Amino acid sequence: MPEETTLVLIKPHDVYRRQITPILSLLDTDNLRITGIKMIRPSLQMVEDHYQEHAGKDYFPWLCEQLDDQPVVAIAISGKNAVKRIRGIVGPTKPEDNSSYTIRGKFSDDTFEASRREKRAVRNVVHAVSSLEDAERELKIWFRAEELLT
């Protein structure tokens, strides 16, 4: 199986909660390696490009609002079957569906129900891509080619 590179974003809520180091320690493991990392305050255009598949949905503004001009840690991670393996480490999107062995299970302090009630995006700690095609598209949004190690 060829090596692939995937993207993980540590979202602002957990940057502010000082969870960067514990999250990184769970990602940099098991023959996966960090090949790019930076902290950035993305523009609204960058965030809209990132979440383009959700454009037009009622929660799209909430997704954009949570990342727009807020500190985000963007991480490129490479290894065999990296997309699937990182999704397993991160866990399901809904924080309440996670075991304590996943990043979202360990660090999330939110639920989908609370986010909908408060009309905001769920604070589920990190974003992780769900397919190799998404990884290729999203990595180009967050990293220039020269910022990634090969």
- List, for residues 82-112, the tens digit of each pLDDT value: 999 999 999 998 888 888 899 999 999 999 8
φ/ψ bin of 119: left (φ > 0), alpha (ψ from -120 to 50), beta (otherwise): left
Asked whether residue 2 carries a pLDDT value surpassing 90, the answer given is: no
Asked whether residue 1 carries a pLDDT value surpassing 70, the answer given is: no
121: Cβ contacts below 8 Å, ≥ 6 apart: 59, 62, 63, 65, 66, 115
Provide the β-strand partners of residue 75: 8, 37
Q: Please say if 50 is a catalytic residue.
A: no
**Whole-number pLDDT of residue 94:** 86
The residue that leads in pLDDT, 28 or 79, is 79
Among residues 13, 50, 54, 127, the one annotated as catalytic is 127
Asked whether residue 120 carries a pLDDT value surpassing 70, the answer given is: yes
Homologous superfamily (CATH) of 3-139 is Nucleoside diphosphate kinase-like domain (3.30.70.141)
- Compute the average pLDDT of residues 72-87: 97
What digits encode the pLDDT tens for the residues 8-33?
999 999 999 999 999 999 998 878 99
Please provide the average confidence, as pLDDT, over all residues in the chain.
94
Largest interatomic CA distance in the chain: 44
Q: So where are the chain's domains? A: 3-139
Percent of the chain whose pLDDT exceeds 90: 87
